Amino acid sequence: MTETYTASVVGASGFAGGELLRLLNGHPHFEVAQATSRSYERKTVGHQHPNLRGMDLRFTNPEDLDAVDVLFAATPHGVSMERIDAFRDAAGTVVDLSADFRLGSEAQYDEWYDGHTRPELLAASEYALPELNRGNLPGADLIASGGCNATATILGLKPLFDAGVLAGDEQVVVDVKVGSSEGGAGGGAASSHPERSGIVRPYAPTGHRHEAEIEEFLGLSVSFTVHAVDMIRGAAATCHVFPEGPVTKKDLWSAYRESYGDEPFMRTVAGGGGVYRYPEPKAVAGTNYGEVGFEIDPSNERVVVFSAIDNMMKGSAGQAVHAANISLGLAETAGLEFEGMHPVGAP
């Protein structure tokens, strides 16, 4: 297929916006027509994203949107719901990377966020995670990319639901460790290097907003804690699961192979040889791959599930492009086939 689609990135000066530009610039079917930034208007893309100095493109004002085929919105929460009409007027397909259209009801936004100004559009939005929602993505024109912590957790636990190991009423405790890029380019004092270096800091011991996505898409209430750790890229979820009946390693291998055996971006890593015996963010840094794995603790009737993603890719920009590929009828892996590097520094 040689068809080319024009694309714009709103909020292109941030970390997620930069990743979108990187992916779209190398994509065989996308041409980047516009990158917006209020703060960096008229400056080159390479001014803010030094890895993109080769792009002949300057930031423009987000109020002046070009007409394109696909608009990717990499804006803070609350912006897209206010500007959704302008976004949809500018593009036939809108892919939003914020939390504005991830959940299905106004009541959820009242509970987990600060309400919603366009609740009538929530039913029209499709969750971007293809491993969960692939069947609903073809032709979708309003797509909501999932939260990185929720993505890592859902990917780890989904095969257990698919296989009937979990029914939804079991106790599940989830601990997620994330890199500083999750806070975005304006992450503030807590994300500055002197404050972030060397830490394992619980920044959301309870009540993290991504719990809402896990409940929505798995039907499971989890005990959820998030730690900020000393890495730049990556989200690693450790899920402590207490099934009602006995589970063997054979059962788990069967469950994960059944769910992810044909998935182009999922790998099962469970106690093999070498240094990287379980899922590791460093091993997927810069890629759209996700790793999942598991171990059994028979004395405590516990299954420990591990999952690892790059929060900027599988948990954000990569997931968005993957979903856009499916929506437009392109090859799923287009523009995303590249592997990571080894060895690398902090992810």
Which residues are documented as binding site for NADP(+)? 13-16, 311
- CA–chain centroid gap for 330, Å, is 20
CA nearest neighbour of 74 among 126, 132, 13: 13
Q: Which helix (H) or strand (E) segment is 240 a member of? A: strand 235-241
Rg of the chain (C-alpha set): 20
| 126 to 103, 129, 138, 205: CA distances (angstroms) | 9, 9, 10, 29
Question: What count of other Cβ atoms lies within 10 Å of the Cβ of residue 102?
Answer: 29
Q: Which residues are catalytic?
A: 148
Q: What is the spatial distance between Cα 167 and Cα 331, in angstroms, rounded to a whole number?
A: 34
| 216 to 61, 98, 220: CA distances (angstroms) | 35, 17, 8
| 74 to 17, 110, 251, 322, 331: CA distances (angstroms) | 5, 22, 40, 15, 23
* Eight-state DSSP code of residue 317: I
Residue 262: burial class (beta carbons within 10 Å; 0-12, 13-18, 19+): exposed
DSSP letters, 32-62, are EEEEE-STTTTSBHHHH-GGGTT---BEE-T
